[in-house]
Structure 1
Amino acid sequence: MSLRINDIAPDFTAPSTEGEIRFHDWLGDSYAVIFSHPRDFTPVCTTEFGAVAQLIPEFEKRGTKVLGVSVDSVEDHGKWKRDIEQVAGVPANFPMIDDRDITVAKAYNMLPADHDLPAEGRTPAHSATVRSVFIIGPDRKVRLTMTYPMSVGRNFAEILRALDAVRKTDGVPLATPADWVPGQDVIVALALDDNAAEERYGPLDIKLPYLRFAKDPV
């Protein structure tokens, strides 16, 4: 069964390019973005990991750790990081775990419906939809999931935007409208009546009785 929003993210222990990672311990009191890919030394994945490498300062500003998952070895990751740096122009300063035994891929239900992963001679096609994204909260709960096909590179600007929205609305009576970006108005949940909403968030822009906007609280 797929992981659902608010499920506890499966814990795991795995070797990585930065030593052994025990996921729940490693997470600490941070958010995390877990993103996986079919194989090292593949074209789309190289551009994606390069994009993440460039965005590491943005993730750090948001109190968020980034973790790459691959079905390849730590040794291969180390070699591939040189290619990523060449493409991105910056080092890939985030851990990549070794999931050759697909323990993490199975726990997070990342594999294709008809997956058959041979021990030898594995190609990217065997793990084609191991291209998933999970945003995990400090309470270890799944906040957001995305899964992409092998031919479609992920939009990490959107992942960063989604992370902003998750953090903005986490544990408060707010939601974000379509295409929201930080600084734009947010939606006040119906758990607050108009008076309580204005007391907490200031003047409301009431479009409909059930659609009430307020200024983005900093």
Structure 2
Amino acid sequence: MTDQTPIPMPRLNEAAPDFDAPTTQGRRTLADYRGKWLILFSHPADFTPVCTTEFMAFAKRQEEFAALDTELLGLSIDSHYSHIAWVRNIKEKFGVEVRFPIIADLSMTVAAAYGMIQPGASDTAAVRATFIIDPEGVLRAMVYYPMNAGRSVAEIHRLLVALQTADANACAMPENWVPGDPVIVPTPATPDAAEARLGEGYDTVDWYFSTRHL
């Protein structure tokens, strides 16, 4: 009989799983990031081509994330020394310096808590999972990619900006929203509010669909 134990999965808008783990820059805990946004992302293995391209993409945009009060934290089920050697190799061979910490998760403790281990893909390597955690430690977004397709760091950056903008302006974002595009006004919750919507000065297609510029 096969093991039918469910894969533990974190849930959106709930507290992100806690962790206390060794990294290339000392031990880190989730509490260390309190008050800032955090992007925690896993990769299958060090010294692999797709993962190398992803890490370089994150490294090149680290200042853009920092401008959004956001820290980066990588993870794989590799040793601390493997991470150090890989980071040195990326700098030597590609001229890109990886300055964010990387969790060494040989025990798979953090990977298991975040549902990064997907048996359909691998029992011993984390898939390409990305988690956006807000300053209160709440998990706000998670995106999973397969082993053989690299994630879009540009999309992760866009998603972070969208979340922060939605929080600041009590609105929602349409498909592929980028700064400067109109945002979606919350839908009226009562018949009277729906009736009044046309006179509220928004760009209204129908009572349930209104947009505005910030």
**TM-score range, shorter-chain basis?**
0.7 to 0.9
Residue 175 (1) aligns with residue 182 (2)? no
Give percent identity, aligned residues only. 40
Determine if contact 2:23/2:103 at 8 Å carries over to the other structure.
yes
Equivalent residue for 2:143, pick from 141, 146, 149? 146
- Shift of residue 197 of structure 1? 11
Q: Determine the structure 2 residue equivalent to 1:204.
A: 202
Residue 18 (1) aligns with residue 25 (2)? yes
- Shift of residue 142 of structure 1? 0.7
Counterparts of 2:178 and 2:87, CA distance in 1: 31
Counterparts of 1:133 and 1:208, CA distance in 2: 36
Counterparts of 1:53 and 1:170, CA distance in 2: 26
Q: Which runs of 5+ in 1 are unaligned?
A: 118-125
Deviations 1:105-163, CA, capped at 9 Å, x for gaps: 1000111135775xxxxxxxx32x52100000111111001011000000000000000
Residue 63 (1) aligns with residue 61 (2)? no
Counterparts of 2:141 and 2:133, CA distance in 1: 7
Equivalent residue for 2:53, pick from 25, 28, 47? 47
Deviations 1:156-187, CA, capped at 9 Å, x for gaps: 00000000111111265300000100111100
Residue 136 (1) aligns with residue 133 (2)? yes
Counterparts of 1:3 and 1:88, CA distance in 2: 35
Superposition CA RMSD, Å = 2.2
Q: Aligned pair count?
A: 203
More displaced 10-residue stretch of structure 1: 106-115 or 156-165: 106-115
Q: Which runs of 5+ in 2 are unaligned?
A: 1-7
- Shift of residue 191 of structure 1? 5.1
SS at the partner of 2:61? Answer: helix
Counterparts of 2:174 and 2:80, CA distance in 1: 41
Q: 1:196 to 1:78 in 2, by over 3 A?
A: farther
Listed as ranges, the matches of 1:93-112 within 5 Å are: 93-112=99-118
Counterparts of 1:87 and 1:143, CA distance in 2: 35
